[in-house]
Amino acid sequence: MISSLQADAFVECPESAPSLHVRKGVMHDIPAILELINGYAAKGQMLPRTEFELSEAIRDFTVVTRAGSLVGCGALHFYTPTLGEIRSLAVDEQAKTQGVGRQLVEALVEEARNYEMDAVFAFTYVVSFFNKLGFQEVERGALPLKAWKDCVRCPKFQACDEIAVIRVLRAKNCPIELGTWMRRAASNDDRLIQIPAVKQSY
């Protein structure tokens, strides 16, 4: 369970609302990020995080603030020199209809571009949200096994119902295996490593 985002996180902020500010996370953001993420974790919608974990990973985080208050967070985590994950996406309940989610994902994608990554992926319940930002659905078992290291401690690991989405950033430089993932996902290839999952009808 990586993200608390719902479909309304894409809705644009009304012009009359206070402006949103996107920036990299810093150490003093940790208490607010913990409160946001663990609030969703208590509802079973995200994995809980500790102060120690966030202290180690704070450089991965981007945050959105409004009038000085943190209203959203997300992280870009590197798995290989060419592939990263957008994760830990959370938006304050009071800001879900103000485009915070869109700004977070766009900022994280731009950061991945700056690091010259070839692709980024995410796990989500709201594929339509990510589709609007250029992501495509991919077979979850096609992702590197190391991408599942957080999943093994998730209560839903044996019956995961999240969907993997991926966005190719540098198609010309994309490794052969990435193109293979996309082709396999499209063809529903049974040779992929299968992670336990609930069968869904789309």
- Does the residue 198 lie in any domain? no
- Does the residue 179 lie in any domain? yes
- Does the residue 77 lie in any domain? yes
Position 140 pLDDT exceeds 90:
no
Q: How far is CA 16 from CA 13, 19, 73, 97, in A?
A: 8, 9, 23, 13
Grade residue 162 by pLDDT with cuts at 50, 70 and 90. confident
- Ranges of H-type helices in 9-126: 30-41, 51-57, 100-114
Position 69 pLDDT exceeds 60:
yes
- Does the residue 172 lie in any domain? yes
Residue with tokens 């070839």: 118
Q: How far is CA 82 from CA 24, 114, 130, 138, 168, in A?
A: 21, 12, 20, 17, 10
pTM above 0.85, yes or no: no
Its domain, for residue 62, covers 7-187
- Does the residue 202 lie in any domain? no
Chain segment 85-106, per-residue pLDDT in tens: 999 999 998 877 789 999 999 9
**For the domain that residue 14 is a member of, what is the CATH number?**
3.40.630.30
- Does the residue 2 lie in any domain? no
Chain segment 183-201, per-residue pLDDT in tens: 444 444 443 333 333 333 3
- Does the residue 103 lie in any domain? yes
- Count of domains for the chain: 1
Grade residue 75 by pLDDT with cuts at 50, 70 and 90. very high
Neighbour count for residue 55 (Cβ, 10 Å): 10
- Does the residue 139 lie in any domain? yes
Position 50 pLDDT exceeds 70:
yes
Residue 110 burial by CB count (10 A; 0-12/13-18/19+): exposed, middle or buried?
middle
